Structure 1
Amino acid sequence: MEKFTLEILFHIIGIGSASGLFFKDNSLFVIGDNSGFLYEYHINSQDLKRHPLIEKSSENILKKDKPDFEAMTAFQDTLYVFGSGSTSKRNSMVEFDLEQKKKIKTNNLVNLYEVMQNFASIKPEEFNLEGAVHDGENWYFFNRGNGISNKNTLFSFHAKKLDQDFSLLSNDYKLPKIKGVRTSFTDGILVDNKLYFLAAAEDTQSTYDDGEVLGSIIGRIDLETMKIDFTKKISATHKFEGITFFKKENNKIEFLLCEDKDTEILETTIYKLSLNLK
């Protein structure tokens, strides 16, 4: 797993602070943590559509008011978009129908987020969900450990829906450092019973305030053992916050990545990361 390539695939004008993405049928669905929209970008035609996820959706919402959509996952024809839970205004989960291309409903997850915090002994000010995965039977959530305690926690729910009874597990991980700063989860995706994750090093001890970006890694967790298979530094300058599966062939797996530049500029670069599986 030592060899990898990282290349710019294309730029999208009209999306800023990209924090999550999902690839399907040659279209890319993107969320931004400053925005109230779900963006749908058709790669061939370069057409960009905006789907409102909140009332009075806009780009570059003030930090204190934003829903902070940081995590996104899909199962069958439903896309699930999650607020980070890092403030009281960031507890929403929006369900979006990928066939009808419209919002189905919004759920308030404040009670669930409190259960997660209590279960894993995470203080409210250090709770910051940045990745979500759903396979129809289980949910996985990545808490970004960019607070003082560095609580990089993977939550595992066994439930088809989050409003049903569930069993809950949590695992804490000590991720590698870059330039002396511990990396922290920024997204994850499930491929062949393995969770591939992104983590970034940002020189801050706050889930709210940004810091100097020192780079990003990719890693993989085996769901049978819940242990990390490998980690690999993929950049010394980018804070990658979104990953989606692109293709897999000939012992090589490819992902699409997006980064959060923490600016108000409405431009996003999509990268392709290729990993050798041998």
Structure 2
Amino acid sequence: MEKFTLEILFQIIGIGSASGLFFTDNSLYLVGDNSGFLYEYNMQNQQLNEHPLIDNPTKNIAKNLKPDFESLTNHNDTLYVFGSGSTENRNKMIAFDLKKKTILQKNNLVDLYALMQSFGEIKPEDFNLEGSIFDGENWYLFNRGNGISNKNTIFTIHAKSLGEEFALVATNYKLPKIKGIRSSFTDAILVEDKIYFLSTVENTKSTYDDGEILGSFIGRIDLKTMKIDFTQKITATHKFEGLTFYKKENNTIEFLLCEDNDTEVLETKIYKLSLPVK
């Protein structure tokens, strides 16, 4: 692949362990996997607002209690926030109205997640959703294969609402390795008819415990064939867990990225990744 550029764009004080983000109209929405808030950061005036997603939210929830919000996706004026499903208290999906800044609904997806585990032949301890896409007709949920079974799986749910009847497809992927350890999905977005995804390598066999960070990749999947077009290693030191489209111009596509620093420090660096359009 041709040359890419990765740079720190700015830093946000007040957010830790960022795991998902969405950019629109000069505002960057973020979730942290140990936080009970949806954060809204205005990139022009550098103002940070907090929107509670759960009752009695805090910014640093204990690991065994946290809702583990790992991904954001949007359609029209609604932002959807997903819990990872990696433990019994991480099964929430919250719909947030971007215009009114209010919660539209809260769903417990425990039954859907159990069905996905059974259909995808993924053990509960290896189930860990870290990416989500909704295009108005289909949902794409990305299982991070950082458990023992290395099941990097995209679940395609053919339904306009997760509360109605649906058809389910599970597609497995072998993602690139670093030092013999396979990378695993950490986020994904849809740009036109292409899925861009992040994958990262941690030296751990657990979806719960963190390990040594060995690097991250950007990759692309063709939506029609669901086959990988390319992957590119973009760092040897960062665990990137959030990806959003920024802009596209002059044969270059730009994304904003955030990383999970696996600490309780409430600061988040936002990176800009630029790639040639292929």
Is the structural similarity TM-score above 0.5?
Answer: yes
Could you give the per-residue CA deviations for residues 140-194 of structure 1, whole angstroms, max 9, x where no partner exists? 0110000001000011111111111111111100011012211000000001111
Q: 1:40, CA displacement in angstroms?
A: 0.3
Q: What amino acid does structure 1 have at the position aligned with 2:169?
A: L
Contact 1:126 1:147 in 2 (8 A): yes
Deviation at 1:223, TM superposition (A): 1.3
Correspondence for 1:223 = 223
The aligned residue for residue 51 of structure 1 is 51
- What is the DSSP-based 3-state SS (H/G/I as helix, E as strand, rest coil) of the residue aligned with 1:116? helix
* RMSD after superposition: 0.6
CA distance in 1, matches of 2:137, 2:250: 29
Asked if 2 retains the 8 angstrom alpha-carbon contact of 1:2 and 1:232, the reply is no
Shift of 1:108: 0.3
Could you list the runs of 5+ residues in structure 1 that have no partner in the other structure?
none
**3-state DSSP of counterpart to 2:213:** strand
> What one-letter code is carried by the residue in structure 2 that aligns with 1:59?
K
Aligned-partner Cα distance in 1 for 2:32–2:43: 18
Once the two structures are superposed, the pairs formed by residues 1-278 of structure 1 within 5 Å of their partners are: 1-278=1-278
SS at match of 2:65: coil
Instruction: Output one character per residue of 1:203-227: Cα deviation in whole Å (capped at 9) or x when no partner.
Output: 0000000000000000011111111
CA contact 1:122–1:151 (8 Å) conserved in 2: yes
Q: Secondary structure at the match of 2:115?
A: helix
Give, in whole Å, the separation in 2 of the partners of 1:145 and 1:18: 19
Shift of 1:2: 2.4
CA distance in 1, matches of 2:50, 2:39: 5
Amino acid across the alignment from 2:79: L
User: Matched residue pairs, number?
Assistant: 278
Which string of whole-angstrom CA distances, capped at 9 and with x for unpartnered residues, describes residues 213-265 of structure 1? Answer: 00000001111111100000000000000000000112110000000000000
Secondary structure at the counterpart of residue 125 of structure 1: helix
Give the Å deviation of 1:79.
0.5
How many Å separate the matches in 2 of 1:224 and 1:135?
13
What amino acid does structure 2 have at the position aligned with 1:237? T
Q: Could you tell me the percent identity over the aligned residues?
A: 70
Distance of 2:71 and 2:115 partners within structure 1: 18
Q: What TM-score results when the alignment is normalised by the length of structure 2?
A: 0.99
- Please state whether the residue corresponding to 1:118 is helix, strand or coil: helix
| Counterpart Cα distance in 2 of 1:67 and 1:45 | 30
Give the counterpart letter for 1:193 in structure 2: D
- SS where residue 111 of structure 2 aligns? helix
TM superposition score normalised by structure 1: 0.99
Q: Secondary structure at the match of 1:114?
A: helix
Q: Distance in 1 between matches of 2:3 and 2:234?
A: 10
Q: In structure 2, how many angstroms separate the alpha carbons of the residues matched to 1:2 and 1:216?
A: 17
C-alpha distance in structure 1 between counterparts of 2:179 and 2:8, whole Å: 25
Structure 2: gaps spanning 5 or more residues = none
